[in-house]
Structure 1
Amino acid sequence: MTLYLSRLRLSRHPQARALDQLLNPEDPGQRLDAHHRLLWAAFSDGPDRRRDFLWRAEEAGAFLTLSSRPPVAGDLFDAPQVRDFAPVLTVGDRLSFALRANATRDRKGQGRVDVVMDALHGLPKAERAVARMGLAQQAGAEWLSRHGEAGGFHLIGVNVNDYSVMALPGHRGVRRGQPQFGILDMTGMLEVTDPAAFVARLAQGFGRARAFGCGLMLIRRAG
């Protein structure tokens, strides 16, 4: 399996910067939707192309992608910085990681549910704000640990640095079935137990909402 890790940055050409409010709007939901469409421009080479890449927003106007083919150069981005992603791993290697993920699980009769929303649902509304990050830490750690069982790694430790709920444009307020999802920002350390399975999981991504900037795990050797 050949993979490419790429850094993309919005073009700083004046013609592209004139579109900044459309390509990089201030509203978080609108920005996520715009970036979702924008990244397709770097990888979609035809109407029948299926998504075969992961992406993550970094600082304003900059993105990291993991893909099975290099991004296509275009007018919206500066020339992409592309390198092969082929980590040489052995059993027992320890890696630090950063992961932005939409963590879900199956709940009978409800389908897929966000693990943090599900944990909060059992509390009185007056207690949810105070308990939010503690439950996010617990639910996020349990969810990622379960992924490790089949994903070729053992979770040593994880910190949930942020949990937010994102609603896409045109869908505001309480409404059954509205497209919104929770996003966990996590950092931590893991130990590789099956290198091939772990690299395959990295390529596949973690959790859902991968078309919207979730699921790409960044790794480096632990110091």
Structure 2
Amino acid sequence: MSLFLSRLTLSRAPSVEALKRLIDPQERSRATDAHHRLLWSAFAGDADASRDFLWRSEGNGRFFVLSHRRPADSPFFDPPEVKEFTPALAPGDRLDFILRANATRTRKTGEVTASGKERRKHDDVVMHAIRDLPKGQRAEARLAAAADAGLKWLQGQGERGGFHVERAEVADYSVVALPDHRGPRRDQPQFGVLDMSGVVRVEEPALFLERIAQGFGRAKSFGHGLMLIRRTRAT
């Protein structure tokens, strides 16, 4: 499995700067959609290809991308900085990580689809954790719930993904509206975003790298799920 880790930076050419408000908008829900479309310009060789890359915005027009193909030159970006993603990992290796993820839990609804399958729903782990609180108390409890629910969710990912979570902190939890929604704001579809960092210990290297390539959580098209890693410095 060939993987490439790239850093893409928006070009400062006048022709691109003129489009900045469209391709790099300030409003977050619009930005997630605009950035996804923008990054496709570096992977647009096959119009019928499905998305085979994960990405993360670092702000100020900079993006990290993990892909199965090398990004091509794009008129919107400076020449991409690309390196093969081939970390030599062994059981017991400790890695620092950062992760921005839409963390969800799946539950059965009891409903059956037309094809005969049981319908399932994906619940945001943080909103699920505070669902029984009065609405007036949820905002205050949200970050504490995010820290607890986020850790449990990541531990579950590790059990299935060949790693153990030694430490994880949630720096932020936010709710982002799905782009292009039309209708009353109170009915606007939204998803939660956890920004996490910490230390993991590798248990099954091949499985761990496979999970990194797949990404973690949902809403991957909108810049979530890419875990960036580096070796933990000895203390």
Q: TM-score, with normalisation over the residues of structure 1?
A: 0.96
Aligned equivalents of 2:9, 2:63: Cα separation in 1: 6
Q: Could you tell me which residue of structure 2 aligns to residue 36 of structure 1?
A: 36
Q: Could you tell me which residue of structure 1 aligns to residue 46 of structure 2?
A: 46
Name the SS of the counterpart of 2:168 in structure 1: strand
Name the SS of the counterpart of 1:42 in structure 2: coil
1:51-102: per-residue Cα shift (whole Å, max 9, x none)?
Answer: 1000000121000000111111011111000000000000000001000000
**Matched positions, count:** 221
Conserved? CA contact 2:7–2:65, under 8 Å = yes
Q: What RMSD, in angstroms, separates the aligned Cα atoms of the two structures?
A: 1.1
Aligned equivalents of 1:72, 1:180: Cα separation in 2: 32
Name the SS of the counterpart of 1:121 in structure 2: coil
The residue type paired with residue 223 of structure 2 is G
Name the SS of the counterpart of 1:95 in structure 2: strand
Give the drift of 1:43.
Answer: 1.1
Aligned equivalents of 1:170, 1:84: Cα separation in 2: 35
- Map residues 32-111 of structure 1 onto 2, 5 A cutoff: 32-109=32-109, 111=121
Q: Could you tell me which residue of structure 1 aligns to residue 216 of structure 2?
A: 206
Aligned equivalents of 1:215, 1:122: Cα separation in 2: 28
The residue type paired with residue 139 of structure 1 is A
Give the drift of 1:168.
Answer: 2.7
Give the drift of 1:26.
Answer: 1.2
> Once the two structures are aligned, what percentage of the paired residues are identical?
55
Q: Could you tell me which residue of structure 2 aligns to residue 126 of structure 1?
A: 136
Runs of 4+ in 1 over 6 A off after TM superposition: none
Give the drift of 1:28.
Answer: 1.1
The unaligned stretches of length 5 or more in structure 2 are: 110-119
1:16-68: per-residue Cα shift (whole Å, max 9, x none)?
Answer: 11100001111111111110111111112222110100000012100000011
The residue type paired with residue 192 of structure 2 is G
Give the drift of 1:136.
Answer: 0.3
